Structure 1
């Protein structure tokens, strides 16, 4: 799932905004070519998503969902990563690469790998998932599979629900080739005028507001059947072109450059500049053309010429295009074809003392720091409940929060509005440059402003990506700070799908840190040092390098040394090189990465002590954890930062040190379970390939980390209920 927090919304992390200026670092103690290419590593990540769709042990509707996630991830990869690379090549901008190869060669490798992956994706649907769905009573059929009665019923649906919204666009001397919107599904139609014999071309857009898969009525025995919408349209083109002979019709789909580039230093109004750039995004240049493999050469040549794409950018695929439509099929209410349901539990510390009572979250946090693990523990009864209690509490004077991705109808936004309307000081730092959420963020930022919330948009040149919530409460004539620092967005919807941690604390040091940080975010610059926080762009990189160096020195002194890092992406060369040097000194380095990894394992004399694992499953592994053995006094951090240039140098990020021994143990135990050979995961091999380990030598399934975590959280709750 990308997180468009997916090239983080889905299995990815759709936080892939700026093009990373990766550079090769000259270090005579380390070999050249010690990094894997980040773009090819991202494609390897999406291949792991595809392997889940190929796994017959998974419920079939979940396999369909993974096919849709793969398609969505790859769309964003082209719109952002490939588009950014091409833009730099075409405009003559430098495209530094950490693999020592020409950008054109990297682009060619991306194309070769992407072509192979898209073909494998299409065949997985045709040969594996579609037949498995049919066995389960869910059929996706063709027009030829239908009876006359079924065709008649579908024709009525076409006439009443589809035909009125279709807009065929002819191409002739009076009608230039129409604009093709990005990611739209289209029919390319060649027709012959019966009177003149002249051949013409027309484009017909498949209406995106209609269901992609049209139910076929009359199925028996509990079976359901669906016809792709484009097939229904294609078999009634005569109604759209009366008197014309339909010669050819084929589906095609275009991907455009949707990278947003704003020079903040050259604009006086960021919101206006961003709105103008979003308008421009719709007309970005084409970067990929997908066509069905039976498309005739005449039609394809016309599309290539009119759309100005290269042969390398054409993807011929069997079967249906745009398998994002499987998101809808995956929602079919067949519980036995889904993962077993999981209802998040309320964190033990936040459970009310009395049944049907309301928990006092402020009192719970005063007792001890509270670490909450989503989605196993509820976001609604922790983060949302905390903010709602703060909004209505008469003793709360001020609320400050960063918002990177949320939803306009979110209870988070409503709680901030309620607090402002009750006369509290409310500050919302809204990141309007969050990729693909820019327009939505602008809308609800203005909604907050109208309610009296102080809305700021962060620092020029930096994205505010940290996940911070700070509440100031008056207690016995003094002010007390209550803080929440998380690894994921304040988004109730994605919190049910994304794995994240959040720390609640009333520690005075954290409170002072957040007071200073929020003042600087709403002011001009981040300059101060912090006590329990590591903050980018000025201090986080230095702090992590200092901890890595401490482990290296301990190893050289013969002391036990261990580094554990869990991130979405491991790309930054300076961090990687520091891990290499730690490995050379004998430090055990464990890296748990969901997506991109430029680090290589098994380099002789360099990275033999480094182990890299990846886990994908029903939830998107999204939390970031940094743990250092520190000679028996573990230093453990959680937060929002990945090991990428943009996170360390061009974003405001924050990690908080976890100090409660029970919380430190919980995080390290989770990490060790994930890295264990008894747990199902992908292993990064010395040759750069990712090898899936999901069963032991006897074929017995290995531990599913997410299932095990669910069971452990439920066990903790039952234990408290018994007490």
Structure 2
């Protein structure tokens, strides 16, 4: 999109786009994650966790985003991104930035490694072991590891072995000592083999699997002489494409998952010093003629450092343990979730408040003889899911249970197929939703017989029904017995299961039906208020902001005088703070102990924020084209006074005033600058770990004051 003729963007250089490139913005986010690995304020093992996460993030980036661009390039697609770049141009730029990021990961790995060694967690080279440790390692490798490994010669009668996505392998050039015949060998390291072998003893000392094997090649290859060696790692295209007219969606997905394991090689990474002849052997063997090739200066597979993070003991090297609170409001009703919800709407703020309340809600529904029906969306539920157990128990108890299982949840497709099979065996009516749209909304509804009629209880979430991620993702769970919410939730499920258009929605806003239109209307209302001399502001928190139509609307609002505060954890394609374009927009990103995941939208609605008149919604949707046009999403207006105050005056203000784990986006360069304030330090996560929420605190906590937060810059 081009700038309107009457808008002069004085700060934007000639030829520069009005948007940041999506992929470059994502890499900038992962750089912020990596920066936390070098943050001396974090305990050492937590720094290592950030480093591992940055590696895992980058792996997914190559396997999904770079893979998509590579496919477009190979097929000659010249469609430009929103910022005007072709796939080839994007690949050139992001490849260079990704390589720089990987080099920074290697440098970052060195400092915590040295400090960890002083603290009792050490990765040791085999030649630095004591004599008894060397003896133990040789025995352990011979008896426990080598039987699992399968060396494979590569010659005309032995084709190159298949290397799966994220596969790590060693490659050797050797000579048979008997007949002096050369042989090339490939040794796959199976995913079941740990990347680090723990040495016996009280200290946490490890030997990497590749170093251990390299030091004992005489055990694996007796009678052979080593000429040269190297290591490599493969990243493949992991995207799944499904035809819209697929006759059997589950069978189609099972087939696609198998094909994904053999996807095109996108990136091939070699260890430093791997000889050229072995590199060529591997390139040809894995079919990497179009892949990005890189040589690592250090440790290959940064994501594998998670094994060291999980080492037992060493509490001083981790964040102090935190136990989430169970909402007092539910406790005061004897653990009866329905009674608590009937009494008053409330919000549960994860991970500060326990996800167990969501599980308890469904377990109570499963065991309550007055409950007649349960309907539930499932996008990601985890491998050990109490949610699935509750739905199975409800169906086995004779209740009508409907589960919308999204097969297109990336990297969870296989697990979701398994859950769907289990649910169907128990008698649950499983619905797979739309072929062309993902069902991303997070909704539960429970229908209960009460006093001769039925009452519906609803749960709406900003995050998945996933007990594990709920321990470190910040999300909101909203419970209500509102009749309007119940009627709209029923229309949502009928839309998904029976393709019945959800007409006449009373409370909820839903994509791809009404969400984009409503969002535009709310921004337009703020523009009108600004032009009319009334207070006008927008506060929004989400994971990503990409949609160009919404960005343009925000630019228009900014130059009309609307004050806009955006908290965007990850991708942000909007350029903030530029005269003539976005002078009233500020963008910040928060990266810290917990992963910011909640989506919250606030519109001043003619009052100075924060204010009880403001329009406040929580949602499952980010502001991206896919969320607004190609997914089933829900946004829920918060009307209860206490819930409204909790989300606006407490959650949003805390996010805005955090100055200990925040970064501010510079609109011209795309650089993020860390916020520093030692005079009035305020840490968002610490605040919520030490203060109860407003709506879930209950009568027993009413006398305890929650420190009131003040937004000094106003809104």
Structure-2 change in CA distance of 1:602 and 1:274 (3 Å): same
- Partner Cα distance (1:624, 1:690) in 2: 23
The answer (yes or no) to whether the contact 2:78–2:87 under 8 Å persists in 1 is: no
Aligned residue in 2 for 1:464: 439
Deviation at 1:713, TM superposition (A): 2.1
Give the equivalent residue in structure 1 for 2:412.
Answer: 437
| Structure 2 residue 344 is the aligned partner of structure 1 residue 390 | no
1:362 and 2:338 are equivalent in the alignment: yes
Q: What is the match of residue 706 of structure 1?
A: 685
TM-score (norm 1): 0.92
Which residue pairs with 1:680 in the alignment? 661
How far the C-alpha of 1:293 sits from its partner, in A, is 1.4
- Report the equivalent of 2:321: 341
- Show CA shifts across 1:71-98 (max 9, x none): 1111111110000111122223453311
Residue 374 of structure 2 is aligned to residue 399 of structure 1? yes
Q: How many residues align?
A: 688
Write the distance in 2 (CA, Å) between the matches of 1:287 and 1:29. 44
Unmatched tracts of structure 2, length 5 or more? 10-15, 608-612, 704-715
Displacement over 6 Å in runs of 4+: none
Counterpart Cα distance in 1 of 2:323 and 2:457: 27
Within-5 A mapping of 1:48-67: 48-67=32-51
Does 2:629 align with 1:649?
yes
Give, in whole Å, the separation in 1 of the partners of 2:516 and 2:594: 28
Q: Which of 64, 76, 81 is the matching residue for 1:97?
A: 81
Q: Distance in 2 between matches of 1:707 and 1:645?
A: 34
| Residue 398 (structure 2) pairs with residue 423 (structure 1) | yes
Match of 1:211 in 2: 194
Report deviation, 1:617: 1.1
Name the SS of the counterpart of 2:606 in structure 1. helix
Distance 1:311 1:199, change over 3 A: farther
TM-score under structure 2 normalisation? Answer: 0.93
Partners in 1 of 2:325 and 2:17 — Cα distance? 47
Partner of 1:577: 552
Distance (whole Å) between structure 1 residues aligned to residue 127 and residue 660 of structure 2: 46
Please point out which of 216, 241, 244 is paired with 1:236. Answer: 216
CA 1:283–1:216: 2 relative to 1, 3 Å: same
Aligned-partner SS, 1:503: strand
> 1:27, CA displacement in angstroms?
4.4
Q: Structure 1 residues 203-212 or 644-653, which shifts more? A: 203-212
2:518 match? 543
Partner of 1:77: 61
Give secondary structure in 2 for the equivalent of 1:460: coil
Call closer, same or farther: CA 1:88–1:372 in 2, change over 3 Å. Answer: same
Structure 1 position 601 matched with structure 2 position 580:
no
Instruction: Work out whether 1:34 is the aligned partner of 2:18.
Output: yes
**Superposed displacement of residue 514, structure 1:** 0.6
Partner Cα separation in structure 2 for residue 388 and residue 240 of structure 1: 53
Structure 2 Cα separation of the partners of residues 521 and 102 of structure 1: 36
Q: Post-superposition shift, 1:26?
A: 6.8
Residues 566 and 625, structure 1, Cα contact 8 Å, conserved in 2: yes
Matched, 1:446 2:421: yes
1:248 deviation in Å?
A: 1.5
Using a 3 Å threshold, how does the CA distance of structure 1 residues 451 and 28 change in structure 2: closer, same or farther?
A: farther
Shift of 1:688: 3.3
Q: 1:542 to 1:25 in 2, by over 3 A?
A: farther
Alignment partner of 1:143 out of 116, 122, 126:
126
* CA distance in 1 between partners of 2:216 and 2:658 (Å): 56
Tell me by how many angstroms 1:700 deviates. 5.8
**1:78 alignment partner, SS class:** helix
Q: Pick closer, same or farther for the CA change 1:270–1:130 going to 2, 3 Å.
A: same
Q: Secondary structure at the match of 2:210?
A: helix
C-alpha contact (below 8 Å) 2:592/2:661 kept by paired residues: no
Q: Structure 2 CA distance, aligned partners of 1:572 and 1:702?
A: 34
In structure 2, what is the Cα distance between the partners aligned to 1:188 and 1:400? Answer: 52
Tell me which of 605, 623, 627 is aligned to 2:598.
623
Q: Does structure 1 retain, via aligned residues, the 8 Å contact 2:162–2:286?
A: no
The whole-number CA distance in structure 1 between the counterparts of 2:454 and 2:215 is 71
